[in-house]
Chain A
Amino acid sequence: EPEVTQTPSHQVTQMGQEVILRCVPISNHLYFYWYRQILGQKVEFLVSFYNNEISEKSEIFDDQFSVERPDGSNFTLKIRSTKLEDSAMYFCASSARTGNNSPLHFGNGTRLTVT
Chain B
Amino acid sequence: GESVGLHLPTLSVQEGDNSIINCAYSNSASDYFIWYKQESGKGPQFIIDIRSNMDKRQGQRVTVLLNKTVKHLSLQIAATQPGDSAVYFCVIRMNTGFQKLVFGTGTRLLVSP
* Residues on A facing B (Cβ under 8 Å): 4, 31, 33, 35, 42-45, 48, 50, 55-56, 58, 91, 93, 95, 98, 100-109
Q: Pick the contact of B98 from A31, A100, A101 — CB < 8 Å?
A: A31
**How far in angstroms is the closest Cβ of chain B from A61?**
11
* Residues on B facing A (Cβ under 8 Å): 32, 34, 36, 41-46, 49, 51, 89, 96-106
Question: Beyond A43-B89, A100-B32, A103-B49, is A108–B41 a contact (Cβ under 8 Å)?
Answer: yes
Q: 4 other contacts beyond A43-B44, A98-B98, with CB at 8 A cut-off?
A: A31-B98, A44-B103, A105-B46, A108-B41
Residues in B with CB closer than 8 Å to A43 are 44, 89, 101, 103
Which residue of chain B is the closest to A3 with respect to CB atoms? B43
Please determine whether B99 and A31 come into contact, CB atoms closer than 8 angstroms. Answer: yes
5 contacts between A and B (CB under 8 A): A31-B98, A42-B105, A55-B98, A100-B51, A106-B44
Q: Pick the contact of B104 from A33, A42, A55, A95 — CB < 8 Å?
A: A42
Q: In the docked arrangement, what's the CA distance between A33 and B94, Å?
A: 15
Please determine whether B43 and A109 come into contact, CB atoms closer than 8 angstroms. Answer: yes
Which residue of chain A is the closest to B101 with respect to CB atoms? A45
Please determine whether A91 and B103 come into contact, CB atoms closer than 8 angstroms. Answer: no
Residues in A with CB closer than 8 Å to B51 are 100
* Chain A to chain B: the 7 pairs with minimum beta-carbon distance, closest first: A106-B43, A43-B103, A103-B46, A48-B98, A106-B44, A108-B43, A55-B98
Residues in A with CB closer than 8 Å to B98 are 31, 48, 50, 55-56, 98
Residues in B with CB closer than 8 Å to A105 are 46
**How far in angstroms is the closest Cβ of chain B from A35?**
8
Which residue of chain A is the closest to B52 with respect to CB atoms? A100
Q: In the docked arrangement, what's the CA distance between A83 and B93, Å?
A: 29
